[in-house]
Amino acid sequence: MAKTVRVRRKDIIQPDQFISTTDVIIAYCSKHKAKMISLIVSLILAFFLGLFVNHSNEQNILKMETLYFKIEQAISSEEANSSDKFEKIRLLLEEFNDGPQKQRALLIVADNFFSESDYDSAIKLYQRILKESPLPFSQQLAKIGIAYSFEAKEDYKNAINAYKTVIEHPNDYPLFDIYMALARCYELHSQVNEAILILREMKNKFPANPKIKNINLKIKSLDI
């Protein structure tokens, strides 16, 4: 004989949890329809705004890279009138927005001034990079450019100070050649003892450098 299962009253009136939750959500949305519509519209606008900003950034980067390429072309051009060439470069620089591409452009223009032996213009541009660039590596390259420019001008006093600044704040830049340049400037500035001290410091700092034999020879030639 089959067993009859007794159904209790509370089992019959027990609400279905899934249906109840859904009904609550629907009721809440109906009650706060204006807020829900505003939220959905806000999310959609935020999504499309994000797409727009991303697209704008990509377009700006492309524009800056194009300007950087034009700067390179202008520098490598062989225009007879150098003043026209640099005026063209100056106008291109003004079109840059602040950012890494602008700092790269300023660096190559400053390097070009150095190559053209226009050391004063190079120093001014390197100093501008120091003021404007938030990038440590760009600042370090500018400091080195200033030091080389002063040395090329035979302004050894300022060159010594500039090389010392690079050494004091290396930012992971290899310093062997910087120390060598500092010793050279001391020697050219008739401060031979200081040059010898720098060379001896190099022996301790760079014992594995393959050029260390040249350092020993240089010390012997100065320490007479």
With a pLDDT cut of 70, the percent of the chain lying above it is: 75
Burial 66-103 (b: 16+ CB within 10 A, else e): ebbeebeebbeeeeeeeeebbebbeebeeebeeeebbb
Distance from C-alpha of 79 to C-alpha of 91, rounded to nearest angstrom: 16
Does residue 17 carry a pLDDT above 60? no
Please state, in angstroms and as integers, the Cα–Cα distance from residue 137 to each residue in 104, 153, 218, following that order.
Answer: 11, 24, 31
- pLDDT, tens only, 181-193: 999 999 999 999 9
Residue spans of the domains in the chain: they are 61-145
Tens digit of each residue's pLDDT (9 = 90 or more) over 31-40: 666 777 777 7
Instruction: Label residue 6 by pLDDT band (50, 70, 90).
Output: low
Count of positions (residues) in the chain: 224
Arithmetic mean of pLDDT over the chain: 81
Instruction: pLDDT band for 129, please (50, 70, 90 cuts).
Output: very high
Q: Which tops the pLDDT comparison, 34 or 173?
A: 173
d(CA 110, CA 129): 9
Q: Is the pLDDT of residue 4 over 70?
A: no
